[in-house]
Amino acid sequence: MATDIKITEAEEFAARKYDYIIVGGGTAGLTVAARLAENPALTIGVLEAGGNGDGIDNIDIPGYSGRALGGPLDWHFETTPQPGLGGRKLPWNRGKVLGGSSALNYMTWNRASREDYDTFEELGNRGWGWDSLLPYFKKSENFHPPPPAFKDLHQTTYNEPSEFLGENGPINVSYTRDFSPAHAYWHATLNELGIPSNLAHISGNNVGVWTTICAVNAKDSTRSYAAHYLSSKPTNLYVLTHALAQQVILEKSDGPEQWTATGVRFTHGHRDFIASATREVVLSGGSVNSPQLLELSGIGNPKVLAAAGIPLKVDLPKVGENLQEHIMLPFVFEVDPTLPQQEDLLREEVAKMAYEQYKTDHSGPLSVLPCSMAYLPVSTLTSAEVVDDLFSKSKELTCFHPDHAPILSTRFEKGINLGQVEYVFDLGNWNPSFTPDPSLGKRFCSILQVLQYPFSRGSIHIPPNNPTASDSPIINPQYYSGPHGEIDLEIMYHGAKFAAEKIIKTKPMNEIVLGLAEPSGTDEKELREWIVRNTITDWHPTGTCAMGGRAGKEAGVVDERLRVYGVKGLRVVDASVLPLHVSAHLQATVYAVGEKAAEMIFEDAGV
């Protein structure tokens, strides 16, 4: 655990000379920091804007997942008003705590299909395909196999003996101790619709229906997250919390890279400090904060920097561009009133009993997480004619880089078997806009529908007029906007019809589901309007500091070694480097990015 990690004072931190400074103590940042600290000859510093979340129930207890969103451990970001969502703004929750968003998420542990990672190599980023990344996925993991009885009871299958799951990593991953009583209906219903159970969903193809693994320690049913990379308590790693990075310090140098990163200016307790790095500065602020800090440091699009009043040092127009995000629809259905609900935990007597059971034997409602999953191609959800039309429209788009466009378009070709839409099933009401009358005593279940390969492209930039790191950046995902956004809307519409007219009306699911609660119907006009009013984020932003591949800075911000173009000694290591989105929840992939980055840093330094 992270309990005894050395958290220093600001003066002490700034006085020390570091080989490497990592900005952001989140999922990727702590992975990199801990791995670099395995070399005792190096001195590593980590700057984290949040505090230490060790021992906080809202982080540790699986059944409390989501409670920390919007609280003091959250950055409280939000989007600009989105025309494609009827002018709504969406909250963009991100973890502001040691461990980052891995401390706040819903703990889903999965991977995309092989083809998703192989596209990174197809773009010219050598070493980023499935075969190259698999060792790094495994390096982060400590998989706990489930009891044998779980295989039939809860459909907990994986490759056994597994060549695809790690056994010695810092992040404990397992199937949950207990399962929702409705989970038993999920596999059977999808199977009835002709969708097979995927017996090896972690091994390079996630298409089908399956029970997900979670980032949970099977020994005590607690969240396992990035702060646990520090459990070895390295004496050469220094962490400063509540430290907000303001700027990467760049010094003029000779050669093709005219600037060198030599440190970081940060604030702590309303005071300014500078920390120096003799080898490299590594930005691990995530898809929001990493492009923000690059721009605050004078690296980015000249127009953005001029409007902000920041002198241009490195002309890099793709900083903050290429924003991609999974978008989600939360359907709500009325369900058999005898089934338990997560909402029951809001009742004092139920909450007390559940907490006592959890603390006694690590089981019960507080050990349960959403784990009923399915990833399906668009061809499963609608007619061949609709898919052909999407294919034709996607080939006509001109808003993508020429290297990206054919990859996005070919995902609609006949015979392609990729998880373009994800469904997650769970008891309870998961729609933040739906507030039923509690006096009616109705019970609900939800299906979350998530678009995996968005065509919508947005941006994240600093605001104009002399911004600082304390000013929230301008987050504009451009959901459903433009011709590319129209493709996203069309896929979500057909996916919605499948959820509301097929999944819920098929046995045995129809034995417990009484009817549609939100939306109220599936008339095309009504359903399309409901989609616009109810689409929300799935908290998986990527792409804002993407790997450029063979196109270089015309298409990205960093090279295949994650080095920022035009700057010596500066890398970005987090989800922002992914050039195209992947069909998976992101945390396992981000850990793999951090593991691979640490090894590359060692290789490039010759240490």
Residues making up the annotated binding site are 97, 539-540
Q: What is the pLDDT of residue 5?
A: 66
Q: How far apart are CA 16 and CA 5, in angstroms?
A: 17
For residue 547, the cross-strand partners are 558
**Given this model, what pLDDT does residue 1 score?**
44
Catalytic site residue 187?
no
Where do the structural domains in the chain lie, given as residue ranges? 144-221+325-537
The pLDDT, as a whole number, for residue 398 is 83
Mean pLDDT by 10 residues, the chain (607 residues): 69 97 98 98 98 96 94 97 98 97 97 98 98 98 94 86 90 95 95 96 96 97 97 93 98 86 97 98 98 98 98 98 98 90 76 94 94 97 96 90 93 94 96 90 94 97 97 98 94 98 97 95 96 97 98 97 97 98 98 98 94
Of 268, 484, 581, 585, catalytic: 585
Instruction: To the nearest 10°, report the CA torsion of 484, 284, 273, 11.
Output: 150
Q: Does domain 144-221+325-537 have CATH number 1.10.760.10?
A: no
Does a cis peptide bond (omega within 30 degrees of 0) precede residue 436? no
Of 129, 128, 115, residue with least CA distance to 410: 115
Pick from 7, 22, 89: nearest CA to 54: 7
Query: Any catalytic annotation for residue 540?
Result: yes
- From the candidates 268, 326, 540, 581, which is the catalytic residue? 540
Binding site per annotation, positions for FAD = 97, 539-540
Collapsing DSSP to helix, strand or coil, 15 comes out as helix
Say how many CA atoms lie within 13 Å of 417 toward its Cβ: 10
Question: Quick one: tokens of 249?
Answer: 């310090």
pTM as predicted: 0.97
The H or E element spanning position 45 is strand 44-47
